[in-house]
Structure 1
């Protein structure tokens, strides 16, 4: 299916995905080092701040893990030849969208369809 989008676009997106993956991994390691080196002692206020920082750390780690999963899935789609095909409409995803968010699984139309469905069921 990748033949429906240019090989140059696929290679550029692959390069962007690998760069984004490395960036996420670097941010993950940096955040872990900073948390490990944070002071644990102090009074109640210091301990409260430490708990808040740890909570923020855990939330950011979860976000980074989710982004890493999306990046890995996109790289797998490149290998499988299904990269750039919308999961919702099965049409080619807009090249500008792929270049901006290379791990996307949805075209603009597909994203709008999913959002409309989620709004309908959120009521």
Structure 2
């Protein structure tokens, strides 16, 4: 079963996926703060705060990389003519679902 999307919808979804890819690449190009050698004494709390911030930044980087993989997968499926079809059932994914999450692999109820 193929996609039920119009050419206009596919073009709009491709544009949004490409914009999301560009956004992610900008985020990934931002360097993650590195921590100086362990601090002790009065600066210990500041070092702990810096370390917590670095951990948060690393989490963001990991999530963005995973999202980039999903976006790239969706763009590849567009190129192959397989975009908009559930990977689970083979049924078309509704446009409303793809408009909300252009890299969706399945319909909402799957």
TM class, shorter-length: 0.7 to 0.9
| 1:57 shift after superposition | 1.1
| Residues 66-85 of structure 1: pairs in structure 2 closer than 5 A | 66-85=66-85
Query: Are residue 8 (structure 1) and residue 4 (structure 2) matched?
Result: no
| 1:73 shift after superposition | 0.1
Does the 8 A contact of 1:40 with 1:50 survive in 2?
no
Partner secondary structure for residue 82 of structure 2: coil
Structure with more contact order per residue of length (Cα contacts < 8 Å, sep ≥ 6):
2
Structure with the higher helix share, 1 or 2: 1
Gapped runs of 5+ residues in structure 1? Answer: 111-123
Whole-Å Cα distance in 2 between the matches of residues 109 and 85 of structure 1? 14
Whole-Å Cα distance in 2 between the matches of residues 72 and 35 of structure 1? 27
Which of residues 30, 36, 41 is equivalent to 1:40?
36
Deviates more, 1:14-23 or 1:47-56: 47-56
| 1:99 shift after superposition | 1.2
Whole-Å Cα distance in 2 between the matches of residues 99 and 12 of structure 1? 9
Name the TM-score, length of structure 1 as normaliser: 0.77
How many positions carry a matched residue from both structures?
Answer: 105
Gapped runs of 5+ residues in structure 2? Answer: none
Whole-Å Cα distance in 2 between the matches of residues 77 and 68 of structure 1? 14
Name the TM-score, length of structure 2 as normaliser: 0.85
